[in-house]
Amino acid sequence: MRAVNGAASLAAQASVPLRVVWWATWDLNSSYGRIFDRSLLPGELIERSIPSRAGQKLLELEEVARSRLPSKSLVIPSAASGPSEFDPAAVVKAAKSGQSVWIRSLSTLDDHPEPFSMFAPSDEVRSLVDAIPAVDQESPPVGVHIRRTDSVQSISNSPMSAFERLIDAEISSNSDQRFFVATDDPDSFRHLQERYGDAVSEYPKRSYARNDPNGVVDAAVDFWALTQCRKILGSFYSSFTMTAAEAGGAELVMALEE
């Protein structure tokens, strides 16, 4: 989402068409249209599939990507990981002159005037979000996003004790406070449920596997449910946490170890 958001801003400034190539990969095995509303995308959508882990690793190699570029291309290397490390104006100038531009980054490359306005859940995802009892628009819950599995940064910097401290503080201010928990770790939710009972709830997932299309849809349900929360207690170094808060306009509080 952040990559497309930044690319759309740069394309608009350069007055060039936006073309989004969406890869259904081993760790994001879903078509674009199954999780997002395709009608809002301001450009061409090209869908590709490379479901094997080995194929995805090949796709991620910078050398492979660069080998497919025209000879006179503007290349922003992987070291340029954010807007402060390259000049968006140079990218716009190159695109206007007809050059191809290749950028590899894990960060938003340029600030879009209407952040994430081109994204909305698909009908399937929206119906699943609407069916979650805890996601009540009249009395929005506090969202809790606990990132685990392969995220070493989140696990080490956002331990369970940090989430408990923040949840306890919310309950001390409002004993009736309800929490929606989004996590890729079922043990984390079970722990909170044992401690807080009916105050916490989740969307029951069919799969946690990223290479299972149903698992990707379930993660999208968690994401859009978080955007409906009034506040998010989030995980350190998680783009899922930060993007959900920005897309929904929620207050973000990171659960950090004291």
Nearest-angstrom CA–CA distance, 229 and 107: 24
Task: Check residue 19 and give its pLDDT.
Answer: 84
- Distant-in-sequence contacts of 51-59, Cβ < 8 A, 24+ apart: 51/24, 51/25, 51/26, 51/211, 52/26, 53/26, 55/25, 55/26, 56/25, 56/26, 56/27, 59/23, 59/25
pLDDT tens readout for residues 186-235: 999 999 999 999 999 999 999 999 999 999 999 999 999 999 999 999 99
Q: What is the pLDDT of residue 1?
A: 87
Supply the pLDDT for residue 252: 98
Q: Measured between alpha carbons, how far is 170 from 214 in angstroms, rounded to an integer?
A: 33
User: Domains along the chain?
Assistant: 2-103 (no CATH), 123-254 (3.40.50.11350)
Tell me how far apart the alpha carbons of residues 7 and 29 are, in angstroms, rounded to a whole number: 22
The alpha carbon torsion through 159, 163, 164, 168 (nearest 10 deg) reads 160
DSSP character at residue 81: -
More confident residue, 27 or 31: 31
Structure pTM? 0.89
- Residue 73 pLDDT greater than 80, yes or no: no
Instruction: Flag whether pLDDT at 142 surpasses 50.
Output: yes
- Distance (Å, rounded) from C-alpha 122 to C-alpha 25? 19
For 90-121, how does the pLDDT look when each residue is reduced to its tens digit (9 = 90+)? 888 888 888 877 776 656 777 777 778 999 99
Is the pLDDT at 62 greater than 90, yes or no? no
User: Tokens 């958001």 correspond to what residue?
Assistant: 5
Return the minimum-mean-pLDDT range out of 69-83, 97-111, 241-255: 69-83
Instruction: Indicate the helix (H) or strand (E) that contains 179.
Output: strand 179-183
Query: What is the enclosing helix (H) or strand (E) of 235?
Result: none
Q: What is the largest CA-CA distance in the chain?
A: 63
Residue 55's pLDDT is what? Answer: 67
Share of the chain above pLDDT 70, in %: 84
The predicted-structure confidence for 146-189, as pLDDT tens digits, reads as follows 999 989 999 999 999 999 999 999 999 999 999 999 999 999 99
